[in-house]
Structure 1
Amino acid sequence: MAVNGFEILEHACLTDVGVRRSHNQDSFAISLQTDEQHWREHGHLLLVADGMGAHAVGELASKLAADLIPLNYQKFAAQGAPAAMRRAFAEANATIHLKGTHNPDFEGMGTTSSALLIRPEGAWTAHIGDSRIYRVRAGNIEQLSYDHSLQWELARRQGVSPDQIEGVPSNVIVRSMGPEASIQVDIEGPHPVLPGDTFLLCSDGLSGQVPDDEMGAIVSALPLKEACQFLVDLANLRGGPDNITVLLVRFPGESPKSVSEIPALLPQPRGELNSVLFAKLPWPGIALGAGITLALTALLLILFKLVGPAVAVFLLAALALILGLIGLHRAQQHEHMPQPEAEYGPPRVYRRSRCQIDARLLAKLTEAELTVQDYAKQNDLQVDWAAHQKHQRAAKEALKLGDFQAAFREQCRSLALLNQAIRLRRGKEERFNPMW
């Protein structure tokens, strides 16, 4: 369904350097309209970019993408979402590429970029690289972006899941902004939007460490600001090998509890019926067939000595045959011409995982909490143990009542207190080993 009216969206974002990196090469942008007129004309735009390159080169590339794409989009918004986003990405890429080719210090600079555009007709995605866009709805988390990575490309060619591809690093990407003068951007939409839908944009520093089902459960259970911090902490607990950025936006209203509660969503119209017919029907062949039929009719009329009507029908036959031959010639030329990139594709879900909070997921979180708790005690970390115990008791009470979501939420908050103490210690350590 479309977005009903102008709405101030709840949103939160957090970026972190991670455990093993010295510089944060991730960037993000949030451009929210403050009144209904501008929202209808431009929409809300949110973006995550993950830079690549030595030293500060990747940091500059992602910063340029985060600054220029929203700015360029505003210039072209009147052209419609797909055209405006394509031009916004293209112009930003031209700037990044120019810097990379004209300055030896910036050689090899590049960045991924994943953008979510929310307009009255729904949500659009524009994407290049392996940063991701998800939607959390009705106990499911759905990946709306296709990873432009070597792993996903090999999986596509072999017709298997990316998880089945072994021996290929997941962070080797085949598309990005900067290295090439021209780029191919995936633009898809409009995705239907329902009350309570939550969209998650992240760099691979998060998606590489935290599985989809855990991300979806955390986003479903916690307020957005808490969820951002907890997701970043979780990625760091598991080693934090890369920069981590997470951006969340939630639509007002109550989310459907299950897929069965989701109303039937009609596909958005992609064009007028007439244009579809003209594009799909083989008009050259039809014209040639009509011309031959008319020519035979003219011969029959001559046999019956109806010369006047025969001449008129023959002229129509000649016209139909000429049009058919012209159409065939143009069709052959079109086949040999390079095809322009499609303006946009239909909304797609590339991967879907259940993220319903259950006993299995709660037990996994509880086990992690015990591991981190032991670490905190052994290293004499400054933890608010009274608040920690309060959340522990609340989690146990909720579990007795069979409320897995409330128990999971309290368990997350209990672990968050330990994470806070670890963040303070982490800055003083030269090395931090993964704990979970």
Structure 2
Amino acid sequence: MFQASRIRLSTNFSAVQRRLISGYEHLSPRKQSFIATKGVYPDGFKATGIFCGVKKNKNKDLALVLSDLPCSAAAVFTTNAFKAAPVLVSKATLEENPSGIYGVITNSGCANAVTGAQGIINAKRMRSAVDALVNKPLSALTMSTGVIGQQLPIEKIEKGIADAAKVLSNTHEEGWALAAEAFMTTDTFPKLRSGQFSLKDGKSFKMAGIAKGAGMIHPNMATLLGFVVTDAHVTPALLQKALTYAVDRSFNAISIDGDMSTNDTISVLANGASDVKIEEENEDYIVFRDQLTSFAAELAQLVVRDGEGATKFVTIHVKGADSFENAKKAASHISTSMLVKTALFGQDANWGRICASLGHSGVKIDPSKVSVNFVPTDGTETLRLMVEGEPEVVNEARASEILKMEDLIIEVDLNDGQSDAKFWTCDLSYEYVSINADYRS
């Protein structure tokens, strides 16, 4: 079971909820509805977010999450050759200390990427500042996001870490919501989720997670920055296995612009403060893995919904494939087609672009078997575009109605097997070009 951590917009907001939405009134009601206004947070963890001097606009730029107990930890990192300093330092930290991590320290506004030897020194200084708080070595994973090629103002960050430690909280308003805001760069809203989950024997554990990302998003491990913490006890090896599985079906199944960051990191910390123990690959492990996957998928989908300039949230569902890998490969290729994405923005039912993209995806297909449909998310009838290689006479008025919706499912049936995969993407608009044309200014 899962207890949701956000609520839909209504006219009955409490004073606290209105305060948490404050600053985001310019967003559409739909986007505002994805901002968490309450939460159920894991035992033994505290969080906060502050401004320490990295960002010129004085928005929050430093997030600290700490556990009272040592944690098992796992992570996946970018495969970009230009791996940022915090990625390299965090990888080394996990290799040396996979069961003694106490927290995650994240700055926004400066990526500490392509910064040479000084960048490594600065990432280690961030880690050392957390070591001083918990009096343990190699205690933290480091994450940075923002402009590439600039050195961190490390003295400001070190002071910020000490200041943040004084105001850590396990509450939503004073802790987790502030941390989620500190992750943001071009994001238009904070991406925070939490919940309580149950095993089949009734024992329960909690999870909380934060993600950031709106541009430079395309998977090849995990994408963007994010982390999940849980009060379950999970061994490091099983935690890594569960995370890898979850990422392949969540953060590794989204695309906004086909570009992969130098800083991509997704991590999970498990501190064992609950009575749930996952120590072998049994039924409880499968339940935990699948719940982590669903939780990560919801966080990943928030990133797509906040895609730079995006006006649509699109699910590419490839089914009838001979393997999960081929279904995912086909879905990924369609999701990154600039022609498909611009047609979606223009509300043009040019479904031939979907077929063209599928045809050079590298997945072996039989065109005479392929079917393509638009599936509305309002429960109304599916619009068939092509059935087993034969084009349908498309009702253009109906197609236009579906394409005006913010959420859309494109279903592609290869009719060649039993496997399927979903990929989440968005359209490509004029605003995306505007945002990224002057990103550094």
Give the TM-score normalised by structure 2: 0.30
Q: Give the structure with the higher percent helix.
A: 1
Q: Give the structure with the higher percent strand.
A: 2
Give the TM-score normalised by structure 1: 0.30
Larger radius of gyration: 1
